[in-house]
Amino acid sequence: MYQTVQFIHSYWAYLVLTMLLIATFNAIIGFASNKEYGATNFRIALFTLIVSHIQLLIGIVLYFTSGNMARWEGGMGEVMGNDSIRLYLVEHPLMMIIAIALITIGYSKHKKKLTSKPKFKMLAIFYGIAFLVVLSRIPWSAWF
């Protein structure tokens, strides 16, 4: 089961990154060119929100089904002293939760705006920061 969940988590991440990149650039372009916010823009933002939340759920399942939980038995000092273990047990999960919170906040805030320019601005800021946060804590060595 672990290999299946890890496979899904790894490849779903490509979809999340792609959608987050598309949504961020869509919001930046819409903001810069004073486009009217339409149904397509809403769908892009919503789909990004949905795929990122699904990725979080897959990640939570992976976190608790992996053998990495046994590494906590060595104590906090051992986990924090090893860069690789710290990345998988602390940094990656925490930063991904923060990124998903930013996506959720950006999506919620953009819905409250009444005109197009502020909607695009909220999405560009929050989705853009979330994209950078995700990129900062991806375990690149495991991907390539």
DSSP string, 28-87: HHHHHTTPPP-HHHHHHHHHHHHHHHHHHHHHHHHHHHSGGGGGGGG-HHHHHH-HHHHI
Give the pTM: 0.90
**What is the average per-residue pLDDT within 63-92?**
80
Please tell me the predicted confidence (pLDDT) of residue 52. Answer: 97
Residue 64 has pLDDT above 70, yes or no: yes
Distance from the first to the final alpha carbon of the chain: 22
